[in-house]
């Protein structure tokens, strides 16, 4: 199974010749079959996911330390921080603190500490206080951050070009801190890292561990022992088989289960006690859950990989494979794997939601090949090493599928969300921010996969500080990118009611090697860009209505390549 879709090649193109985005007006076939989605798109539902935690940005806290950013310069820590700003604790006594806005018993910190000289990572602590009372320290590591050199990157500091600076550390506090409590992160004398770059803190009232629901059997009763530091792969596989033979699902009580290879799922139910309580710890490149057909469900657990670098020869996803018809993946926390979800055909009707995907070395979610009627929704994806969300019609078309109401932050490489070929697919009501390098906020593209065979819709999305430099091409990519690369884009691409704020380069980029012949833009707002508002360097034509451009650095409109613009009503600023 190839996962090399973003292997960078050496060709160079002039600025404006890279990028593609497809959206189609009206309702797609998929939307007609899913009226809730159609209603959300029509009524401009709020962008992004409804999340169970509150995010506190370090630069908005009180601090006696130094602030870095805003800075979007590639290979700088600030360029990889949320909002492109962070706080750096260097001296003993340096702190950043926040007044909690909600009751909190669990926290997740996004941070960076220096790497070890051999690239294998260092471990350290950071002190935490609540209203001046010291709590347990946070355990931090650089083991899963800091990669070097050229794609697909290494752990060798001598290769230079260090990036991927940040990681996450989570902990349950063992008590509830009431709203209004002042929570302080402080470098004390026994906190040994030379510096602590604090990006953001997520605070949460994590629920207690869930008990086993009706219709399940406990893995403990089938010979699986958590927290024993033993390889549980074979025992888990055996327990799943036994549970299925009993006509029941398998429940994983609180604890950590170590897996070194695939756990095969063939029409089974697997459920944990919650993302804060049940952990599958993958110790090898194959440590994850592998769908082999049938209707399965995976719920309420964490998958914590141990990958430290991208491996395109043998790396695997936390959850991958064929998930048959009408499977469910819900309330899953994934980190430190190559990919979060790699879903392959003939998966049909999969519903995946309430995911937290953090710090993968490649894609967050990839719908690959003949996947149909599949929805990824209400999820948070951050710090991915390739597209955060991708539909890749590789060898067969992804059809009638949607990325809807997700919050995407800081893809380290490539796009916030992308559609590569396919028919009837959509990207709807997502909040996408801070793309780092070689990607846009949203791309519709024939760079990879099969040609488009139907309408593509991009609607209701909010893109903030997106677009970036493709350093291999010396090309500036827009926040919205329509890219006719290997094939013409002859099918409708509809951009409906999208908002671009503070784009690094152009707000909308339409580019070639080929032509884009049916682009329909309606209700696009572009406010502040580092380049043009609308930049086109392609053949073809497009219709623009209710499109507003303001605050551009290089002019509102730049059109070349023979592209024909038909102006509808309601346009302003260009």
List the domain boundaries for the chain.
29-51+257-567, 54-204
Q: Span 473-481, mean pLDDT? A: 97
Location of structure tokens 């709590």? 135
Mean pLDDT of the chain: 92
pLDDT band at 42, cuts 50/70/90?
A: very low
Confidence at residue 315, expressed as pLDDT on a 0 to 100 scale: 80
What does CATH list as the number for 29-51+257-567? 2.160.20.10
Three-state secondary-structure class, residue 159: helix
What is the CB neighbour count within 10 angstroms for residue 158? 10
Location of structure tokens 């043998």? 314
Question: Can you list the positions of beta strands (E) in 425-567?
Answer: 425-428, 431-433, 442-445, 456-459, 462-464, 468-470, 475-477, 480-484, 493-496, 499-503, 508-522, 525-529, 534-545, 548-552, 557-560, 564-567
Residue 39 has pLDDT above 90, yes or no: no
Tell me the two tokens of residue 404.
């809807």
Contact 89, 65 (CB under 8 A): yes
Sign of CA dihedral 324, 330, 332, 334: positive
Q: Span 476-489, mean pLDDT? A: 98
Location of structure tokens 């998966």? 347
Confidence at residue 299, expressed as pLDDT on a 0 to 100 scale: 98
Confidence at residue 55, expressed as pLDDT on a 0 to 100 scale: 98
Q: Span 477-484, mean pLDDT? A: 98
d(CA 25, CA 41): 11
d(CA 482, CA 480): 7
| 29 CB burial (10 A radius; 0-12, 13-18, 19+) | middle
φ, ψ (nearest 5 deg) of residue 86 = -160, 170
Q: Span 317-332, mean pLDDT? A: 98
- The 10s digit of each residue's pLDDT in 456-472 is 999 999 999 999 999 99
pTM here is 0.93
d(CA 198, CA 244): 46
Widest CA span in the chain: 69
Q: Span 2-9, mean pLDDT? A: 37
Confidence at residue 284, expressed as pLDDT on a 0 to 100 scale: 83
- The 10s digit of each residue's pLDDT in 394-411 is 999 999 999 999 999 999
Local structure of residue 41 (DSSP, 8 states): H
Instruction: State the DSSP H helix or E strand holding residue 38, giving kind and residue range, or none if neither.
Output: helix 35-42
Confidence at residue 130, expressed as pLDDT on a 0 to 100 scale: 98
Contact 374, 404 (CB under 8 A): no
The yes or no reply on domain 54-204 and CATH 2.60.40.2480 is no
Confidence at residue 468, expressed as pLDDT on a 0 to 100 scale: 98
**Percentage above 90 pLDDT, the chain:** 90
């Amino acid at each position: 199974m190839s996962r090399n879709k973003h292997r960078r090649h050496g060709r160079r193109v002039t600025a404006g010749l890279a990028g593609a985005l497809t959206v189609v007006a009206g309702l797609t076939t998929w939307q007609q079959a899913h009226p809730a989605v159609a209603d959300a798109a029509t009524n401009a539902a709020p962008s992004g996911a409804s999340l169970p935690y509150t995010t506190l940005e370090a630069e908005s806290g009180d601090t006696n330390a130094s602030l870095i950013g805003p800075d979007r310069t590639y290979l700088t820590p600030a360029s990889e921080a949320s909002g492109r700003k962070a706080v750096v604790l260097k001296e003993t006594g340096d702190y950043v603190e926040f007044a909690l806005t909600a009751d909190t018993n669990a926290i997740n910190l996004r941070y960076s500490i220096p790497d070890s000289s051999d690239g294998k990572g260092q471990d350290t602590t950071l002190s935490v206080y609540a209203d001046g009372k010291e709590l347990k320290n946070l355990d931090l590591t650089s083991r899963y951050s800091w990669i070097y050199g050229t794609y697909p990157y290494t752990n060798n500091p001598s290769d230079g070009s260090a990036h991927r600076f940040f990681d996450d550390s989570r902990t349950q506090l063992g008590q509830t801190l009431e709203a209004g409590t002042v929570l302080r992160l402080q470098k004390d004398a026994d906190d040994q890292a030379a510096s602590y770059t604090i990006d953001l803190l997520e605070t949460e009232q994590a629920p207690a561990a869930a008990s086993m629901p009706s219709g399940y059997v406990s893995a403990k009763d089938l010979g699986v022992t958590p927290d024993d530091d033993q390889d549980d792969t074979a025992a888990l596989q055996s327990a799943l088989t036994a549970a299925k033979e009993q006509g029941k699902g398998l429940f994983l009580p609180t604890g950590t289960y170590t897996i070194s290879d695939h756990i095969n799922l063939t029409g089974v139910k697997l459920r944990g006690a919650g993302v804060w309580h049940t952990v599958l710890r993958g110790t090898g490149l194959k440590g994850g859950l592998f769908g082999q057909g049938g209707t399965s469900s995976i719920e309420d657990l964490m998958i914590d990989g141990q990958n430290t670098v991208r491996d395109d020869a043998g790396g695997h996803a936390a959850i991958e494979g064929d998930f048959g018809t009408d499977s469910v993946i819900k309330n899953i926390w994934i980190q430190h794997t190559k990919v979060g979800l790699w879903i392959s055909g003939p998966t049909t009707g999969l519903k995946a939601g309430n995911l937290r995907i953090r710090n993968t070395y490649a894609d967050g979610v990839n719908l690959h090949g003949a996947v149909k009627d599949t929805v990824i929704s209400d999820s948070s994806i951050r710090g991915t090493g390739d597209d955060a969300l991708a539909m890749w019609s590789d060898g067969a078309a992804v059809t009638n599928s949607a990325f809807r109401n997700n919050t995407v932050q800081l893809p380290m490489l490539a796009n916030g969300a992308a559609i590569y070929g396919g028919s009837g697919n959509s990207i709807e009501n997502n909040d996408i921010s801070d793309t780092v390098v070689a990607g846009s906020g949203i791309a519709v593209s024939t760079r990879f996969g099969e040609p488009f065979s139907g309408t593509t819709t991009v609607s209701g999305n909010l893109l903030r500080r997106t677009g970036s430099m493709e350093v291999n091409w010396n090309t500036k990519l827009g926040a919205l990118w329509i890219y006719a690369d290997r094939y013409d884009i002859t099918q409708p691409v509809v951009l409906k009611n999208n908002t671009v704020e503070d784009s690094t380069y152009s707000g909308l980029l339409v580019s070639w090697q080929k032509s884009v012949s049916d682009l329909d833009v309606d209700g696009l707002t572009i406010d502040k860009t580092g380049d043009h508002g609308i930049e086109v360097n392609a053949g073809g034509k497009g219709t623009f209505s209710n499109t507003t451009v303001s605050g551009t650095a290089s002019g509102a409109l730049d059109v070349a390549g023979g592209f024909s613009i038909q102006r509808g009503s309601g346009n302003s600023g260009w």
